[in-house]
Amino acid sequence: MNFDFDHVGRQDAKKGRLFRLGLWMVELVAVIILAFVIVHFGLQKIKIHGDSMSPTLVENDSIIVNRLNYKFSAPKRGDVIVFKQSGQEHSYYNVKRIIALPGETIEIKDGLIYINGKEYKEQIEVEAITNSGIAQTPYKLEDTEYFVLGDNRKQSIDSRFQSFGTVVEKDIIGKAWIRTNPFKFVSSLNIKPKAKETEAPAATPSASPSPSQKN
């Protein structure tokens, strides 16, 4: 009885093609699912309304929001966050900067911010605060509250005002991650330039004695 090697070879080749096709389909489905998760649960593009975050972000700037960031870590001081306050009538997203964290006490006095009695040195370029609002006296935050300010301190409606209030953790959508045009990470916008270290003056070489001064 003769064994048909050609037939077996064709069957193996067919199985190989089916295996590769199945693997390609699995990879395609995985990519589609991953893209869906990223778009619907990970990243979101929004547009800035108003100039309360000027000069960091201005009217009609488009930014990408990282919705996953706070699933794995808590919001930090200095983060620019995107949130939608419960019970508010407007439907647009708010964008502000976190200044004080849950459980902390904030006070704004003589244009300066104090956290738990210690002056907070901001890393961004902002004007001095002229309206302290509810923080003109020490204001203690609850365990889920964040005190936020707009970078445009003279025109921003933020946590200083009773009508706006603090931001609770469940209302935070995500972290403002990227400004798209021109492209730049939000965390690198409007940062104070580092002070240059004062260089020591070069030593002046001593003058050579004149011939008349030589012994």
Rounded CA separation 65/177 (Å):
5
Active-site hit among 14, 45, 47, 96: 96
On the question of a cis peptide bond just before residue 182, with omega within 30 degrees of 0, the verdict is yes
CA atoms within 13 A on the CB side of 176: 29
Which element (helix H / strand E) includes 54? none
Going by C-alpha positions, the residue among 192, 111, 99 that lies closest to residue 150 is 99
Q: Which residue has the tokens 């370029």?
A: 125
Please tell me which residue in 45, 47, 52, 71 is annotated as part of the active site: 52
Is 86 noted as a catalytic residue in this protein? no
Is 96 tagged catalytic?
A: yes
Catalytic positions are 52, 96
